[in-house]
A and B are shown apart, each in its own frame.
Chain A
């Protein structure tokens, strides 16, 4: 049975009482890194601010909105709609549930009502989000049909669209909901079929803009450059409307993705109730090894506190596996009586759409009391507003954390968000340095659309779509030079002016596509190279169950590696490196594997002191077996796999001779100090760059050519050079733009690294700071701190270049 609807006051009282219980009755106390609850913040409530519908909004749309109970806009909606109606590009960064979608649906529908030939293109990073928006837009279009008899066609167009429906969609859609991958490989190369869309394209909507960072964002910029060429060909010039989660540089990101000026709308006029934000750090149970109580058990306990008092809850887990574990825990504790509808649900990718819709509906209607989800519910899927959000583990970025926390928060009553830290270094850093999270701006999203690997691929696609002229520009590099090199390989051919009809002739020559291939097929927007390894399950027959990029193949698919998919464990029996196949078999075991990779970086050219172009060669030399939950090291093995090489960019820290010499420790201990320092720097770099773990690589060496050394069993040189360097390299060929900002943040990086190591409670190192004891010697923590102090004390506060 559902609890009776409580008054807001009673509800607020209940929520307050749980917060009091968790904080020991002192919700306003200062941050205390050593305590169980390390930080509490109270975010003040805010009243709604309204503004009338802007001039120029179609009256029929206004009437329909009034009929739907929307008599005026929130101030940010009015501002955003005002900009777009005036033809200015806009990026909107207001919080979750502030009515962002209306910011783009209103001007788009208004434009179509005024001119039925007008068209709009929506881009979502995933197909599921497009489906979600389809429902919303269908509803608006139906209301307009009833109230004004306006026929507005809204369709998704993606890999799931049946072939026989495609032609009719091309003819009938006013609004096409798609994703960048489909635009890239399905729409732009076939633009003549979409002539009607491109001739009349008025708006391009890019939702979840913050998703387009790194490689994906760099590809998207190029897809949008190609879109712009096609629009020019058909004579249209669309206005862009972007929405983003809170990141430090939304306008900059929008401007670098679209390469046009943008207006920023960031002040939300939507009301918000009071909200508490708590950081919880599970207590240390083994001081020596720095092992803490399981964060999953802690999450279960905290979720129970809220659930017991009938508060509606969302729990975010880091993986599909932990999602299922936590769902099981909470069902054990709070499952309804048999036969009643499920009140505790799990939610993740891999569930069928129907089941997802049912859960979303249950959340909106209150029949589902708690949902445990992966990041699948982080993006804009409509689940209404809940009372409480509990995060099992730090989501990895400030932006994603706010995004998830925003899932709890009603317009008029109190809500709470709780972050439960795991023992991972990033989690430990954030939970022990709350001001980093609460007081600094969220991360910058970085892209590098002129990475040559990415650029060349898209120049090919663009040349396929429309011949380049000999005066055309594209991107930051000289595209004419790119085209001449492509001509050397026979991809294009330079020829005279093209006959463009009786009137036009600008006399420029052109570059014609002279290759049989369909270049978009060879380019995946989500990675830099389309070369990959496939994973073949031989348990029963031979089924392909997964794939992985070329670079992450060897470390994750070497022989005896444990490969995990949806919580099922497989062991790799054979890696066919040349055939790019890994043969795996299902297995039951209580450990996973972590590859030991030896990476050697050679500096090719220094741009400025301590970052530059490098050659990276890496080789998987062995692996460790690590026990689930306790993370104990329970075995290891040696491997000999082919070397992988790439040119990329890197940032480095040089430990000066003077500093090395001043360390009063044995050579092995000094080495461990440098290794420990690099371990901690990697975590902080990842934090500062807002990137994923695999986006950057780390290594230690001289940076000089050809000094082969013996390795320790952890894959680092046994003996360091006189002036060792710690390299943090961009893990994509050509670099995606991670090394330069790291160089800029050099001092901050060292200061944060020092904080991380110094504040850690462990004695000799743990996974939360310089790496677990066992991987490194007992003095690593001490030596690492000493190195940082000596560097800071020296005149060379800046990185020194050799």
Chain B
């Protein structure tokens, strides 16, 4: 009978089945005279030791003149007057980004690189904690906890679904309290999508830094390669493949900080500072969520005034709804009319607009004929059966008020 080892190999790679990629040479040991160079040197950091386990800390400082494309650190400095509209607070703020051993989450996914950035006076500082040895995770997390000691606010990119739950899992796996539980959290993914997402483009940081401040990364490491580069390091002790990963992480954090600054500054300066219709529209959404309705209307109007047609339609509808809520009915009706007149207006929006206009003319302007016209127009557009029913009721009531017998609906339609 074959040995256990042979049978196991048979189970793992059945004959004729797909073969895994060949493994890198794992023979050489770390630290030996002919072994790979010290990771601290390669990565430009310092070892920290706690209870006999070592992890690496890499510190960087970005001076006020450091630029990402058209934007410099000096252009971004806090405090930001309207940062709270993004959900932040102007206290000690940390920009956080993880590099992990996978995207799946769960106890077996490690955060092998915890990158943290913060503004300090006129400069931007960045500290990366690197899990050079699995055994040092606890010590590493303790160090992250220390850095986050007086934290008021944390900023991430997609951290609500990914980075923070993953880090939380790492802390609870080590039976430690997470330092981020009571801290304000701004996940920039959502405002960024609102303001800067273009159709058919994934709203990634690399895309944004290029679109917003014209920064091009050179030889950036693709995200899917990152876990395998780390595993390669784990087996060989050779940190060279990780240099690009560290740089990738640093660029992400600097970009994130600049992005946050841009959003906060826009909120402060208002829609006139918006570069495009979409940006103004996203700004309106943020104002609206924060209850700043006048700012929201101004932003929507700016968005409706220029930019892509799709943005224009959305902005007209959004402003009409806000204006109605503000009881500025005349202005709301004007917006609905503009929406109806837009060539890109979808049937659903057209139905909504004509219905709103029917209500407006029946109850406020008291122009029953106009109301009836809009109701008939609304009925001609697809809606749920409940909506159609409501519109038929309205039509019947209007006809009663107008004192005429209703023509058959089909005749009214065509």
Contacts and interface: CB of A to CB of B under 8 A. Distances in A.
Interface in A158-189: 189
B328 interface: no
Interface in B374-390: none
Nearest to B228: A516
Contact of A499 (B8, B50, B104): B50
A518 to B, nearest CB: 4
Contacts of B234: 493, 495, 512, 514
B135 A496 contact: yes
Interface stretch (B105-113, B214-222, B344-352): B105-113
Interface residues of A, number: 50
A495 B135 contact: yes
A236 to B, nearest CB: 14
Contacts of B134: 467, 493, 495, 498, 510, 512
B172 A499 contact: no
A52 interface: no
Contacts of A553: none
A468 to B, nearest CB: 12
Interface string B1-38: 10011011111110100001001000000000000000
B103 interface: yes
A611 to B, nearest CB: 13
Nearest to A645: B15
A486 B4 CA distance: 13
A518 B107 contact: no
A664 interface: no
Interface stretch (A191-199, A331-339, A384-392): A191-199
Contact of A193 (B11, B23, B172): B172
Interface residues of B, number: 45
A42 interface: no
Given A195-B172, A500-B138, A501-B175, A190 B106 contact: yes
A516 B231 CA distance: 9
Contacts of A641: none
A505 B168 CA distance: 24
B10 A518 contact: no
A516 B227 CA distance: 7
A485 B9 contact: yes
B102 interface: yes
A510 B53 CA distance: 14
Interface in B33-68: 50-53
Interface string A439-482: 00000000000001100100000011111000000000110011
B208 to A, nearest CB: 26
B133 interface: yes
A261 interface: no
Contacts of A189: 106-108
B160 interface: no
Given A485-B9, A516-B104, A192 B20 contact: no
Contacts of B4: 477-478, 481-482
Contact of A452 (B11, B170, B172): B11
B173 interface: yes
A192 B173 contact: yes
Contacts of A83: none
Given A189-B108, A485-B9, A499 B135 contact: yes
A489 interface: yes
A80 B336 CA distance: 72
Interface class of chain A by DSSP: mixed
B235 A486 contact: no
A605 interface: yes
A490 interface: yes
B140 to A, nearest CB: 9
A452 B15 CA distance: 16
A515 B231 CA distance: 8
Contacts of A191: 107
B274 interface: no
Contacts of B52: 499
B107 A192 contact: yes
B55 to A, nearest CB: 10
Interface string B163-190: 0000011101111000000000000000
A790 to B, nearest CB: 33
B163 to A, nearest CB: 15
B107 A516 contact: no
Contacts of B168: 192
A496 B133 contact: yes
A489 B24 CA distance: 11
Contact of B11 (A453, A478, A495): A453
B106 A498 contact: no
Contacts of A647: 10
Nearest to B224: A516
B102 A516 contact: yes
Contact of A490 (B1, B133, B139, B231): B231
B89 interface: no
Nearest to A514: B231
B331 to A, nearest CB: 37
B105 A190 contact: yes
Of the listed residues B101, B106, B107, the one surrounded by the most CB atoms of chain A closer than 10 A to its CB is B106
Contacts of A485: 5, 8-9, 12
A302 B170 CA distance: 64
A232 to B, nearest CB: 14
A486 B108 CA distance: 15
Nearest to B24: A490
Nearest to A461: B108
B139 A518 contact: no
A488 interface: yes
Given A192-B173, A193-B172, A490-B20, A463 B235 contact: no
Interface string A190-212: 11110100000000000000000
A497 interface: yes
A456 B14 CA distance: 13
A510 B101 CA distance: 17
Contacts of A734: 11
A514 B109 CA distance: 9
B384 to A, nearest CB: 24
A191 B170 CA distance: 11
Contacts of B139: 499
B172 A465 contact: no
Contacts of B169: 190, 192-193
A643 to B, nearest CB: 10
Contact of A456 (B8, B138, B235): B8
B138 A499 contact: yes
A502 interface: yes
Contact of B107 (A456, A464, A481, A484): A464
Contacts of A463: 108
Which 6 A-B pairs give the minimum distances between C-beta atoms? A464-B108, A518-B104, A516-B102, A192-B172, A189-B106, A513-B108
Given A485-B12, A521-B104, 13 more contacts: A189-B106, A190-B169, A191-B107, A456-B8, A488-B9, A493-B231, A495-B134, A499-B53, A499-B135, A505-B51, A514-B235, A519-B108, A647-B10
16 contacts: A189-B106, A189-B107, A189-B108, A190-B106, A192-B169, A464-B106, A481-B5, A482-B8, A485-B9, A498-B137, A499-B51, A512-B234, A516-B101, A516-B227, A518-B109, A734-B11
Interface of B: 1, 4-5, 7-13, 15, 20, 23, 50-53, 101-109, 133-139, 168-170, 172-175, 227-228, 231, 234-235
